[in-house]
Amino acid sequence: MRTHRYAVLALAVVVGLIGWAGPVLGQAFPSRAIEFVVPFGAGGGSDILARAIAKVIAEEKLLPVPLVVSNRAGGSGAVGWSYVLSKKGDPYFLTTVSGSYWTTPLLGLAPFKPTDFTPVAGIALDTFFFVVRAESTYRTLRDIVEVARKSPELITVGGSAAASDDRVSTALLERAAGIKFNYIVFGGSGPALTNLLGGHISTTWLNPGEGLEQIRAGKVRALAVTSTERLKAFPNVPTFKELGYDVVWEQYRGVAMAPAVPPDAVKVMSDAFQRMCRTQRWQKEYIEANLLVSICQGPEAWGKTIEAVSERYVRMFRELAIIK
């Protein structure tokens, strides 16, 4: 009897423990807020992307928990991405993907490779305006090129990172025009714009979404755009190509998770992003509002894009003598 009693008691304890642990260990993902890391300052293209995603996913109720945006700027994106990298296996961390995701490690400025993360969704293709303050004496791109030829590095160009798409665009224009700028890093296009408006730099690069409000308010002027054709919303802004300079560049934007995240969690997030991409709210409030091209790629396709874009940056950086 005593042995039987102990056996029953032991079984009850085990069942009790299983019953206690079940809701924790077997809890469906996601069960708490997800940190959405932006590796740059507020106001830039990556920040705009993350906050638009968080807003639409919440409003469309595509996930049962919120995406909480956090800006972890520094080191041309290395600080934020390294933070997410350190969360290996933890599905509660997302990060934005943009140009510096490829270029920062390419220059040896970060302890990771683009393929170290878990691809989730390819979102959009972006382009760049080359802008000056409305009060600037540089009325056209030709004005800037002529001054830069006479006085190398006199023209200051504000940029987001030492390894970024705006750095590539700057190098492309320098090569095409045979000039040299003074490129200054501000840790994000938002801070670069602030310094432009304050009269501290000559010019900067802005994605259309970053510059729309300022351009329409008449505070900055776009001298040229890196797309292959003029943007419908800004028919008076010429392309670099039509002005005689071979400067064409597009920026991929997407989302990744920490390394080695459970496949089930990746599927949950991927499904949410795919549904988001197809909502009218997303297309109107983000894609159309920021003059982007939607690509809506899932994890497999986005992973292949990440590898292909890595090869493109290696090729371009070698051509521009940024790396050997």
Mean pLDDT per 10-residue run, the chain (324 residues)?
42 36 59 97 92 98 98 94 98 96 92 96 95 97 98 96 86 96 92 95 92 92 95 93 95 97 98 98 94 94 97 89 82
Domain boundary among 207, 225, 243: 225
Q: What is the pLDDT of residue 319?
A: 84
Output the domain CATH number for residue 114: 3.40.190.150
Between CA 161 and CA 45 the distance in angstroms is 13
Q: Which pLDDT value is given to residue 91?
A: 98
In terms of domains, do 159 and 192 share one?
A: yes
Amino acid at position 159, single letter: G
Q: Is residue 188 part of a domain?
A: yes
Residue 318 three-state SS: helix
CA separation for the pair 246, 254 (Å, rounded): 26
What's the pLDDT at 210? 84
Q: Are 196 and 131 contacting, i.e. CB atoms less than 8 angstroms apart?
A: yes
**Residue 163, domain member (yes or no):** yes
- In the structure encoding, which two tokens stand for residue 54, read together? 């968080």
| Domain contains 324 | no
- Looking at the domain assignment, is residue 25 inside a domain? no
Q: Does residue 255 contact residue 96 with C-beta atoms inside 8 Å?
A: yes
Q: What is the pLDDT of residue 267?
A: 98
Q: Is residue 239 part of a domain?
A: no
Indicate the pTM of the whole model: 0.77
Block residue for tokens 């423990």: 17
- Domain check: are 83 and 56 in the same one? yes
| Domain region containing 209 | 129-225
pLDDT at 309: 94
CATH number of domain containing 173: 3.40.190.10
The pLDDT of residue 18: 34
Q: Are residues 115 and 146 in the same domain?
A: no
Number of domains making up the chain = 2
Q: Is there a single domain that holds both residue 205 and residue 140?
A: yes
